[in-house]
Amino acid sequence: MEDIPALVEHFVEIYARRMGKQIEHIPPETMFALVSYQWPGNIRELQNFIERSVILTRQCPAPPSREFEEWRRSGIPWSDYP
């Protein structure tokens, strides 16, 4: 779990650059939620989640809180989530 923040920042940097977006920080509550999640789909699931979050946001990779909480409680891998 200790490598999640570094991976999140790495993926955000990659996808923000690729999509021409400037993301300067990740809110602490978002990072806490990402670190708290077990990521059963491993690093690929985290990477896909960050990519989708960067696509959907204008300022920072924070998914809509309702959607994130529903997904987190569902236990469904991100790649299978509707």
pLDDT in tens, 24-73: 888 888 888 899 888 877 899 999 999 988 888 765 555 556 666 777 77
Confidence of residue 82 (pLDDT cuts 50, 70, 90): low
Q: Is the pTM of this model over 0.85?
A: no
Tokens of 77: 């891998």
Q: Which residues of 59-68 are buried (b: 16+ CB within 10 A; e: fewer)?
A: ebbbbeeeeb
